[in-house]
Amino acid sequence: MVDRVCDRSNALYVKTVPGKGRGLFANINFKIGDLIERAPTWEFDDRQANVIDLTGVLQYYFVRGDKNQKIGPLARYVVFGLASLVNHSVNPNSETVWADEESGAWASLVAIRDIKADEEITQTYTNISDYPKTIKFVE
């Protein structure tokens, strides 16, 4: 069995992290400010979230609550790309930067500090309170 699967650019790979499940890793070095990945999204509302939260998709969607967005105070998105596999950390090395375009919202994963090859790419989840209490976040 293969222990890592790379993306098309060979810049990123996915592998299983003990206690976390799948995680996203750098296959190359990234400098602070580098774009790691840019992905399209699908936004859903509170009514849909009530159903989605009962499924495994809860662990893969993003919550967005920035004051510059054109929509309501809290929006949820499925991000179509490897960024959806980024694990939580209280000391992250990346963040999601949102862009609202005519084609919809886009999520860009950007390095907030230098990231070395083979380092796990992490970010701070903003919706931890939405997760069931049975899910324990591992650093």
Q: Is residue 138 part of a domain?
A: no
15, pLDDT greater than 90: yes
Q: Is residue 55 part of a domain?
A: yes
Q: CB of 114 within 8 A of CB of 31?
A: yes
Q: Is residue 136 part of a domain?
A: no
Q: Is residue 139 part of a domain?
A: no
54-60 long-range Cβ contacts below 8 angstroms, 24+ apart: 58/130, 58/131, 59/21, 59/131, 59/135, 60/84, 60/85
Domain CATH number, residue 105: 2.170.270.10
Domain tally, the chain: 1
Q: How far is CA 100 from CA 19, 82, 103, 112, 130, in A?
A: 34, 19, 8, 21, 24
Q: How far apart are CA 35 and CA 9, in angstroms?
A: 13
Q: Is residue 122 part of a domain?
A: yes
Would you call 97 exposed, middle or buried from its count of C-beta atoms within 10 A (0-12, 13-18, 19+)? middle
Q: Is residue 64 part of a domain?
A: yes
Tens of pLDDT, residue by residue over 59-95, are: 667 777 654 545 555 678 888 889 889 988 889 999 9
pLDDT the model gives residue 47: 79
pLDDT the model gives residue 136: 56
Question: Which element (helix H / strand E) includes 88?
Answer: strand 87-88
- Residue 83 belongs to domain spanning: 5-130
Q: Is residue 44 part of a domain?
A: yes
Strands 61-64 and 94-101: unpaired
Q: Is residue 75 part of a domain?
A: yes
Percentage of the chain lying above the pLDDT 90 cut:
34
Q: CB of 66 within 8 A of CB of 98?
A: yes
Question: Which structure tokens are listed for 111?
Answer: 């390095």
